[in-house]
Structure 1
Amino acid sequence: DGVNYCTISLNQHIPQYCGSCWAHGATSALADRIKIARGAKGADVQLSVQHMLNCGNVGSCHGGTVDGPYQWIYKLGKRTGSGISYFTSQPYLACSSESRDGICKNADTSCKAENIARTCSTFGEPCVGLSEYPNATISDYGSIMGKNAMMKEIYNRGPISCGIDANPLLKYTTGVIRGWSLMQDHVVSVVGWGTDPEEGLYWIVRNSWGEYWGENGYVRVKSGALALERSCTWAVPDTYTAPEKNNEIHCYEGGENCKVSAKDESTAAAPATRKPELWKRDEVERRGFQWRGNSSTPSSHELLFTPSNGFPETFSWCDKDGKSYCTVSVNQHIPQYCGSCWAQGSMSALADRIKIARKAEGIDIQLSVQHLMNCGTAGTCQGGEPNAAYQWLKEISDKTGSGISYTTGQPYLACSKDSDAGFCKGVDFSCTAENVQRTCATFGKKCVGMAKYPNATVAKYGSIQGKDAMMKEIFNRGPIACNVDAVPILNYTGGIVTAKSKDTDHSISVVGWGTDDKLGFYWQVRNSWGEYWGEQGYFRVQSGALALEQDSCIWATPKDFTAPERVNLLHCYEDGSNCAAAVSATELVVCVIERPFAGSPACLRSPASGSSGMIGSMFQAGWGVCLERSVARTWESFKKPENHANNWEEAVSFWAVSFAHELAHFESPLHDRQHGRAMEMSQRAVLPGLARVLSKPWGSAVGSQNVVHRKWTLQGSGGNLLG
């Protein structure tokens, strides 16, 4: 009927590989049925796969069953009165108790309160588990098989979860897939069917391998193929947390009134001070951004339409003409605290505008805040500037033709290069290909960066200030990002905020406005503190309160974005091998230095995954032993005092040229060409690689990011580099 009832797409394989298809298939089908029950009104509900991995005992990252998830949710609801938590209370980490890949080795996934629903209020403070949290239960569940039963269940009640043979899907790109299979080794959700003139009936199937795979994360499967019709499950939603159900959870930002031990403690008032998450003007300009910048002069905002009879008394993009144009809610503070409001507010407003451009048709697009923190210079978990975020996005859009990636290729981990909270310490958040967009094919294999990936660019951006300008921009083009004073809303639970403020320290998005009989005009605002806070993650602010109108607000207009209707899908394989970014020489050096001996062979990718030139030559020349020998030989020379005379710059140059000479042996069999090739490599790859490695905050190193300002010593016997 022209309405989309499918919730956002997912990727089970990142930030590292996890075989949790059994949980993704079940929860996505159930989330779709909740959306159907809500008439597609309001922001989508996204259920927590991680809660199931932590506490379900029906599967792990090493597999599960088709029917186990619904059995667990049903029993949990009957036993406790609460069901599976929402994603904004417990985000997906792709980890379970036995996982050791990636971030998992430093992540706690045991079944305790904070691993069901959590909030993390500030740096240095422990995250707390919540006794109350948004959740969903089911009233009934069951199993079916066969085409007729599947069609009847889908048509009457919504998507179902089914097993499938995944092997033929690994290199699927587009079209109707066929082929007989006996065994099922993967779980998906089936959302509908269609008819092809050549293949006949086919199923419309949502996978959980990201939007760069297949047809925007979906695949069409011929009836009778891939064992899809052999085993399916369904569940009927019972209760779920939503504004229209009048069962919202109203926890404080720090969770003091909802934490598990709150029954035995007084709910003390929140602190009157907090660390600001917004840069001041001097910091913005020091980093090369324009303060409150506009992409054009005069601003395109000046050309917008103002109704002759004024704006309506009530207007919201979350409920416009019976449709919701607001994308999913977010929580910047989990899995550990991160002051990324500047990115969350700006990217959620832009995602809403993309949804408006798409007329709320198709699957919602969620933009990757993590990509912005990994590669942008507009801020970190320690704070930033929302206008600078749009400036950065406009710059890379114009320079590369690609913009910010989607969350299904780079999920939010609440970490940046300067973070040491939770599992952030020791994890690489530098701007490498895999930290822009990644896929992880299986256990033990290195995740690969994608040269092509779903992304969104911006055409224009700008700043505005004041009530009239805000109304005009929102009414004509969509939500905007603005700044507020956060202190008065830390303990907000509902109603209209009236507190007056002089300064701002937090960024949010404004999606509309309304009029109250007593308090008059107010703004409808989306925060980024989860759905257990405020009014399902939103709050209302009286005009003139929280300094909302006195500080600048920002806007951006979408230019291009990856979507089926734009005929620009990627069609990458499951392992990304046909879309993977090639290994650069600099990346090779970085990898080798960081893992000099046992790890060095893992620094190379095979020619089949997109490597060429130096890397390809090494691969074919028996690179494993040779590369280790090169590293060892040059390192031994590097440790000799006579080779650097205690001068760090000379030492770096010596090692760079020596190592480049070793690498050049792979590239050129002719001795008289090796020296020139080595000098080229040292300048193009080795020195930049060293600079990137040594600019990381290892040991006690302090000071400038410039390598020559770092003070290092060599440990005499072991050859370790110490801060």
Structure 2
Amino acid sequence: RDLSPMRSLFLLLVSCGLALSIPVSPHRDEFPSPPSPDVPGYKGCRVGTSKFPAGDRVKSPRPHELMDTTKLPKSFSWSDVNGTNYLTVLRNQHIPTYCGSCWAMATTSTLSDRIKIMRKAAHPEVLLAPQVLINCGGGGSCNGGDPAAAFHYMAKTGLPDETCQNYEAVNGMCEPYGVCETCTPGREPDPLLPGTCEPIKNYTRWYADEYGMVDGGKDHDRLGRSVRKADKMKAEIYARGPISCGVHVTDKFVAYKGGVFKQAFDPLVFLLDHELAVVGWGMEGKEEYWIGRNSWGSYWGEQGFFRIKMHRANLGIEMQCSFATPKQQPGEPARPYKPDAAPKPLPPVAKGTYHDYARPCRKAPAGKGTPRSHITSPVPQYEKGKVAGSYDIRSIGGKNYATLDKNQHIPQYCGSCWAQATTSAVSDRINLLRGSAFPEIVLAAQVLVNCVTSNETEGCNGGEPLAAFEWMSMNKVPDITCQQYQAKDLKCDAVGLCENCEWHKGCSAVPKFGYYQVSEFGPVTGELAMMAEISKRGPISCGLCVTPGFESYMGGVYSDATNCTEQDHEISIAGYGKDADGTKFWIGRNSWGTYWGESGWFRILRGVDMLGVESGCSWAVPKVTWPKDFGQY
């Protein structure tokens, strides 16, 4: 068939054995635009040849050099290692607008996975912020980038987690707000929304330690046996975690729905144009395949993942893969949350930094509209000796069941506490029902902001928790790869439920996607009833009174002397316990970012209705809408 001049030029370069490489500028605004769309399948989110600006940074032997590669298992995936899922949540680079950030998504996802592996899947789960790489020119922009340069940036500068900088899919500014921020409500006479943002100075950074190309090192294993690229990839994945790899995207790959993908040789296969993660491998019959994670949402492929033939006919996935090992900011503890840790010695924040006292995010029940409950099965009752003396969703039998932490106040101020607390509680309960199995499901709070209106709920202007649960009982709620949290009120239509955005085509509704619902919901009040509900079925959503002291909380068991019990903020109570001196406390999850409190969480005095936290809670039971083989290949 006829070839366009641009396509012919690329074919000529490939036939001559020349490597195509787009130069990477450290300045985001200078990063080149994507190559011409005349070249079929080339979207330009990854440079043709990835290069580390200062070369590899390898300080230890490569994994394949330390093992007998013939002893590697026939199948392996970090999604299930002895019953534990070490993979972090799935991403979607294309919402809320199209962004060619595959290079940032793949690298931050693989390093986040390796942090989870390093920390033995303990709480908190760290999800590094790809938006910071885009804002700060850490390897590229929404016009594409270099994964090797991203790892180099992470080693030099480090990255915060995503509660510091939410993914916006835009080329933002780096300083002063583009790394870690919080947004406060507007002060009268200015409007409440979108508020005013300011940088956060006290937050945790994670760094890349070693990094390099997977194909590096010696070409033989510990016993002197010759190894192929696939052997080096397997050894690196098995020993240290997922890797980041380039592929050449074709129309067939875009349309992939499941099974082991294979495609005969394409002349442009050497033109790598997309970056993704390889998390394991397997075998179907006598055919080996790779298990990969894309960044196109859970509605693509096999819940956002894919399997692709090993060795050949695989879009060049073995041509150029890179890795990085993680380390935490020097001086930070290995686990920020310590049950008996003393509060951090930081000055109090200004009143109103996290909360609008005049226009709170939790609205009191209106007494009409949404039913107060929908209960079809017996509610757990407190029986002394039969209810656990302590409970912590972050460590049940040594396993973390808490889903992703959140920040309702970025990228702009939004009074969505009612949506964050309820979706977190239900997401945690889904995780409990599924045994914390792969994939981790995090419900999209933005959908509730868009759609819930009963009981005077008004999106970012505040809402009522039971109205959220009632809406979830009657409507489909997708995960966060369908609807990215934007901290603004959007339309409740098909696009506002689940969307996909394409280059130069805009955003459109996704007609088929995985969804979640609740089957029952109702209120719960009082210490003993709350303990029974939590220990039997999981976290609940509760209101409390925000005071200046609570805003400034940095750790310990919180006690407030104001006697305020007027609930104006919604959080999730996810456990309870006692201190060494016998002081009883609740374990709460807030939605103000991990730089607040105990990595985004708090403990508050239990049994005395402190801040009204025992006076107005609610629960919901997830409905099983996922298949029995969900997440299995």
TM beyond 0.5: yes
Bigger shift: 387-396 or 544-553?
Answer: 544-553
Correspondences of 1:539-688 after superposition (within 5 Å)? 539-543=602-606, 544-562=608-626, 565-566=629-630
Pick the structure with greater CA Rg. Answer: 1
1:69 positional shift: 0.7
Residues 255-274 of structure 1 show CA distances to partners (whole Å, capped at 9, x for unaligned) of: x969xxxxxxx965668945
1:242–1:12 distance in 2 versus 1, CA, 3 Å? farther
Match of 1:166 in 2: 249
Task: Tell me which of 523, 538, 543 is aligned to 2:586.
Answer: 523
1:308 positional shift: 5.2
1:22–1:383 distance in 2 versus 1, CA, 3 Å? same
5+ residue gaps, structure 2: 1-81, 188-194, 216-228, 339-344
Q: Secondary structure at the match of 1:455?
A: coil
1:366–1:269 distance in 2 versus 1, CA, 3 Å? closer
Confirm whether residue 123 of structure 1 aligns to residue 186 of structure 2: yes
1:257–1:404 distance in 2 versus 1, CA, 3 Å? same
1:230–1:56 distance in 2 versus 1, CA, 3 Å? same
The aligned amino acid for 2:502 is A
Aligned counterparts of 1:432 and 1:268: Cα–Cα separation in 2: 38
Is contact 2:452-2:467 (8 Å) kept?
A: no
Aligned counterparts of 2:349 and 2:306: Cα–Cα separation in 1: 50
Confirm whether residue 229 of structure 1 aligns to residue 318 of structure 2: yes
Task: Tell me which of 275, 289, 313 is aligned to 2:359.
Answer: 275
1:280 positional shift: 2.6
1:65 positional shift: 1.5
Aligned counterparts of 1:345 and 1:305: Cα–Cα separation in 2: 23
Q: Secondary structure at the match of 2:127?
A: coil
Bigger shift: 123-132 or 145-154?
Answer: 123-132
Task: Tell me which of 182, 191, 204 is aligned to 2:270.
Answer: 182
Aligned counterparts of 2:579 and 2:181: Cα–Cα separation in 1: 33
Is contact 2:258-2:301 (8 Å) kept?
A: yes
Is contact 2:543-2:570 (8 Å) kept?
A: yes
1:311 positional shift: 2.9
Aligned counterparts of 2:603 and 2:631: Cα–Cα separation in 1: 39
Q: Secondary structure at the match of 2:624?
A: strand
Q: Secondary structure at the match of 1:67?
A: helix
Is contact 1:243-1:536 (8 Å) kept?
A: no
Match of 1:486 in 2: 546
The aligned amino acid for 1:281 is P
The aligned amino acid for 1:511 is A
Match of 2:87 in 1: 6
Confirm whether residue 193 of structure 1 aligns to residue 277 of structure 2: no
1:354 positional shift: 0.4
Is contact 2:565-2:612 (8 Å) kept?
A: no
1:333–1:451 distance in 2 versus 1, CA, 3 Å? same
Match of 1:335 in 2: 411
Aligned counterparts of 2:432 and 2:552: Cα–Cα separation in 1: 32
Is contact 1:270-1:491 (8 Å) kept?
A: no
Residues 131-158 of structure 1 show CA distances to partners (whole Å, capped at 9, x for unaligned) of: 2222211211001232111111101100
Confirm whether residue 63 of structure 1 aligns to residue 144 of structure 2: yes
Match of 1:30 in 2: 111
Bigger shift: 495-504 or 545-554?
Answer: 545-554
Confirm whether residue 496 of structure 1 aligns to residue 571 of structure 2: no
Task: Tell me which of 512, 515, 527 is aligned to 1:467.
Answer: 527
Is contact 1:325-1:360 (8 Å) kept?
A: yes
Match of 1:289 in 2: 370
Is contact 1:162-1:190 (8 Å) kept?
A: yes
1:545 positional shift: 4.4
Which structure has more relative contact order (CA 8 Å, sep 6+)? It is: 2
Match of 1:105 in 2: none
The aligned amino acid for 1:276 is P
1:339 positional shift: 0.5
Aligned counterparts of 1:467 and 1:202: Cα–Cα separation in 2: 52
1:130 positional shift: 1.5
* C-alpha RMSD over aligned residues: 2.4
Aligned counterparts of 2:134 and 2:330: Cα–Cα separation in 1: 21
Aligned counterparts of 1:481 and 1:327: Cα–Cα separation in 2: 15
Confirm whether residue 357 of structure 1 aligns to residue 433 of structure 2: yes
Q: Secondary structure at the match of 1:501?
A: coil
Match of 2:222 in 1: none
Confirm whether residue 208 of structure 1 aligns to residue 208 of structure 2: no
1:274–1:514 distance in 2 versus 1, CA, 3 Å? farther
The aligned amino acid for 2:491 is S
Match of 1:318 in 2: 394
Match of 2:162 in 1: 87
The aligned amino acid for 1:392 is W
Aligned counterparts of 1:243 and 1:350: Cα–Cα separation in 2: 31
1:196–1:19 distance in 2 versus 1, CA, 3 Å? same
Aligned counterparts of 2:292 and 2:148: Cα–Cα separation in 1: 18
Q: Secondary structure at the match of 1:28?
A: helix
1:16–1:233 distance in 2 versus 1, CA, 3 Å? same
Q: Secondary structure at the match of 1:481?
A: strand
1:182 positional shift: 2.8
Is contact 2:196-2:413 (8 Å) kept?
A: no
1:128–1:409 distance in 2 versus 1, CA, 3 Å? same
Residues 263-313 of structure 1 show CA distances to partners (whole Å, capped at 9, x for unaligned) of: xxx96566894532222333x62xx223xx1103xx6353x3655524333
Aligned counterparts of 1:243 and 1:383: Cα–Cα separation in 2: 35
Q: Secondary structure at the match of 1:387?
A: helix
Match of 1:447 in 2: 507
Match of 1:690 in 2: none
Using the aligned pairs only, state the percent identity.
Answer: 36
Confirm whether residue 75 of structure 1 aligns to residue 163 of structure 2: no
Bigger shift: 549-558 or 456-465?
Answer: 549-558
Residues 651-675 of structure 1 show CA distances to partners (whole Å, capped at 9, x for unaligned) of: xxxxxxxxxxxxxxxxxxxxxxxxx
1:243 positional shift: 8.8
The aligned amino acid for 1:445 is K
Aligned counterparts of 2:521 and 2:333: Cα–Cα separation in 1: 35
- Count of aligned pairs between the two proteins: 510
Residues 590-635 of structure 1 show CA distances to partners (whole Å, capped at 9, x for unaligned) of: xxxxxxxxxxxxxxxxxxxxxxxxxxxxxxxxxxxxxxxxxxxxxx
Aligned counterparts of 1:383 and 1:201: Cα–Cα separation in 2: 52
The aligned amino acid for 2:625 is F
1:331 positional shift: 0.3
Bigger shift: 119-128 or 528-537?
Answer: 119-128
Say which structure is richer in helix: 1
Match of 1:536 in 2: 599
Aligned counterparts of 1:201 and 1:517: Cα–Cα separation in 2: 53
The aligned amino acid for 2:537 is R
Aligned counterparts of 2:337 and 2:535: Cα–Cα separation in 1: 28
1:301–1:279 distance in 2 versus 1, CA, 3 Å? farther
